[in-house]
Homo-oligomer: A and B are copies of this chain.
């Protein structure tokens, strides 16, 4: 029966080989990006290795926020292209924190694995904040300004997923204080005191 089968495969399954490229589209990250993602790497060059990212492990936390972040997004894990999902691992030493930030086009879902976080997000009329322990899941709808702190004893560890393969991180301090936007303009449009602005500009490497 195998002989008939081969003939059959030729006529019937020929549809498959043409079309299979669209089941996934591993990014050719060196090609020009588009608003909806990267062009695809040719199917013939795709191997099992493309679908695995190694090293979503603890990053160093020897910085002033005592936070370590490792991420697997489309730029270092091209198989995520077009699939609308990505991941990070977050480690915070005792007293560490993730400063106020937004992900303009991604919802964030956090899973607490160890320790205790206090996480929250802000809306124009309210805020939503909780103390989270191992086994808790927290969701921050896309575009919301949010933060997290290690509010417990010892290290806190969590995994975070995003509803985008390429989430950007807009940390408030970077936005306001790490560039050359004139200090008085920042002060005026945030209502912060000019000295406060200058102090943080100095700290975050901004000028103006």
Contact = CB atoms under 8 A, between A and B. Distances in A.
Interface of A: 1-2, 4-9, 11-13, 15-25, 28, 31-40, 42, 46-57, 59-60, 62-65, 67-69, 71-73, 75-77, 79-87, 89, 97-100, 102, 104-105, 107, 109, 111, 113, 118, 120-130, 132, 134-145, 147, 149, 159, 161-164, 166-176, 178-181, 185, 188-193, 196, 199-200, 202-205
Contacts of A162: 85
Contacts of A130: 48-49, 51-52
B135 A47 contact: no
B65 A124 contact: no
Contacts of A17: 124-125
Contacts of A138: 51-53
A27 to B, nearest CB: 9
A132 to B, nearest CB: 7
A124 B178 contact: yes
Nearest to A76: B18
Contacts of A173: 190-191
* Consensus secondary structure, chain A interface: mixed
Contacts of A170: 122-124, 143-145
A196 B192 contact: yes
Nearest to A168: B19
A143 B104 contact: yes
Contacts of A40: 32-35
Given A35-B25, A107-B84, A136-B56, A75 B19 contact: yes
Nearest to A173: B191
9 smallest CB-CB distances across A and B, nearest first, come from A104-B143, A35-B82, A8-B63, A161-B161, A147-B189, A32-B39, A24-B141, A25-B35, A16-B124
